[in-house]
């Protein structure tokens, strides 16, 4: 009887300890490092940085060493000068293939920043007018009720990349059949409704580009030739070729047990998990993002359950690595690059080196903050589609910005991020690209790198 009582007493403690270990340990740690982070071997970083920005580099290196990141790249430019350009970690979960400055991977919705730059080039060359109806350039689009280019870019078209039916991969792979499908679909929300275009928003932008560009270029080819080739950097969209695959890193999920024990229960027991997890724990759900996750899981009528691009519900890394996701070009979600390339491009754009000041100002003009029916939180967007963050704003880096600062940019699922901030008369561009997929949206690893970089800049 004593033995039974002992087991009955000890077993719950053992199970609770095991669950705590699974929840709190870094996602890609190994060996003793999982038990004690000070024993983690520090991975070497490739690239360069100015000595005063070592605290920013240390933050990334610590994340790689402890196993919160697997492989990642980081770029920081201050007042147009590169101060950090590093990459490190591994391409694979077995930690045998180095992740270096030539490594690229999917950047997800950070690509929406590049989509906006490409559309700004079309506007700057007067191939399109930001305020003109899309149907002016794409006559089959006339059934969409006067939706403008600006509506499409600023998440106010009513599309939200939701369809009446899910298109096949074969339809999306061919530009002609893809355009026919897009034109045939009724938008699911009224024009003017603020609803984030999560997945295939650039499918529409690409159709416009091919119609108005004198060379008939796709949106990705246009921005590759006009921006990235000029910078000597890598940016491309699927499909992958053998040549491009050499430097490509696949994506990696955090462990399933961590999601089941450490992430999903937070939607129902937030106070308990706020006590279990440190306030800076990468898995701790911010109250701002909780409604979106609850809606996605519990609400059968959620906007997130409506038809969209194929196979979205088939998983995270497994879906993004191997399925139809990499079968066709979709700049807003599935293009491939690294932090240096997208950071240099956005810094050049914001410095007025890609389009005229008039075009830049038009794309940066903000709408008032509004409740987004897809993200289920208040978001500020510009007329060109960039997200806007300030100290008072509810945003992806809310709470981390100093007074008198404004940031433009966006981030992607899993954690990638690109931001250009104006702080006390100085500018700082920070971009972060990684191959490990966090489920979080708000105050993720990239946001904290932005915060650290701004802190260092202010001390100079």
Give 163-176 pLDDT, tens digit per residue.
Answer: 889 899 899 999 99
Tell me: the pLDDT tens digits for 185-232?
A: 989 899 999 999 887 789 999 999 999 999 999 999 999 999 999 999
Residue whose pair of structure tokens reads 């701004």 in the numeric block: 454
**Mean pLDDT of the 297-303 span:** 83
Q: Which residues contact 96 (CB under 8 A, 6 or more apart)?
A: 90
Q: How far apart are the C-alpha atoms of 70 and 448, rounded to whole Å?
A: 17
pTM value is: 0.93
CA nearest 206: which of 349, 121, 329, 345?
329
DSSP 395: S
Q: How many helices (H) and strands (E) does the chain have?
A: 17, 13
Tell me: the pLDDT tens digits for 371-426?
A: 999 989 888 999 999 999 864 443 444 456 666 788 999 998 788 999 999 998 89
pLDDT at 391: 46
The values of phi and psi at residue 391, to 5°, are: -60, -35
Count of CB atoms situated within 10 Å of the CB of 38: 8
pLDDT at 267: 87
Position 338 pLDDT exceeds 70: yes
pLDDT at 279: 77
Decide: 454 and 428 in contact? Cβ < 8 Å: yes
Return the axis-axis angle of helices 111-124 and 201-212, rounded to nearest 10°: 30
Beta pairing partners, 87:
46, 73
């Amino acid at each position: 009887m004593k033995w039974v009582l002992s087991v009955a007493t000890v077993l719950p403690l053992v199970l609770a300890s095991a669950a705590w270990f699974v929840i709190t340990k870094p996602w890609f740690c190994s060996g003793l490092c999982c038990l004690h982070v000070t024993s983690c071997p520090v991975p070497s970083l490739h690239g360069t940085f100015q000595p005063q920005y070592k605290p920013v580099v240390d933050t990334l290196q610590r994340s790689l060493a402890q196993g919160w990141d697997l492989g990642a790249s980081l770029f920081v430019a201050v007042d147009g000068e590169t101060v950090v350009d590093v990459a490190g970690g591994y391409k694979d979960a077995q930690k045998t293939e180095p992740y270096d400055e030539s490594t690229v991977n999917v950047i997800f919705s950070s690509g929406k920043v590049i989509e906006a730059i490409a559309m700004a080039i079309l506007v700057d060359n007067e191939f399109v007018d930001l305020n003109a109806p899309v149907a002016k350039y794409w006559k089959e689009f006339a059934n969409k009720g006067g939706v403008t280019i600006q509506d499409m870019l600023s998440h106010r078209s009513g599309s939200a990349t939701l369809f009446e039916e899910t298109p096949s991969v074969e339809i999306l792979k061919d530009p002609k059949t893809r355009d026919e499908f897009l034109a045939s679909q009724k938008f699911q929300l009224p024009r003017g409704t603020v609803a984030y275009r999560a997945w295939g928003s650039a499918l529409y932008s690409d159709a416009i580009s091919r119609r108005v560009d004198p060379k008939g270029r796709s949106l990705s080819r246009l921005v590759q030739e006009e921006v990235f080739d000029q910078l000597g950097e890598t940016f491309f969209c699927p499909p992958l070729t053998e040549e491009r695959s050499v430097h490509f890193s696949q994506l990696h999920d955090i462990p399933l047990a961590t999601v089941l024990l450490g992430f999903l229960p937070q939607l129902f027991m937030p106070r308990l998990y706020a006590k279990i997890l440190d306030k800076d724990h990468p898995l701790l759900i911010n109250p701002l993002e909780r409604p979106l996750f609850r809606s996605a899981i519990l609400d059968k009528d959620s906007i997130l359950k409506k038809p969209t691009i194929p196979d979205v519900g088939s998983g995270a890394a497994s879906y993004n690595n191997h399925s139809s996701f990499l079968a066709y070009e979709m700049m807003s979600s599935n293009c491939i690059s690294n932090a240096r390339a997208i950071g240099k491009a956005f810094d050049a754009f914001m410095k007025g080196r890609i389009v005229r000041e008039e075009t830049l100002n038009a794309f940066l003009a903000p709408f008032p903050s509004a409740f987004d029916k897809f993200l289920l939180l208040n978001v500020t967007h510009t007329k060109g589609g960039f997200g806007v963050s300030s100290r008072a704003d509810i945003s992806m880096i809310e709470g981390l910005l100093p007074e008198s600062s404004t940031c433009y940019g966006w981030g992607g699922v899993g954690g990638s991020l690109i931001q250009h901030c104006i702080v006390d008369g100085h500018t700082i561009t920070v971009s972060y690209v990684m191959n490990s997929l966090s489920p979080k949206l708000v105050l993720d690893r990239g946001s904290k790198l932005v915060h650290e970089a701004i802190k260092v800049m202010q001390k100079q």
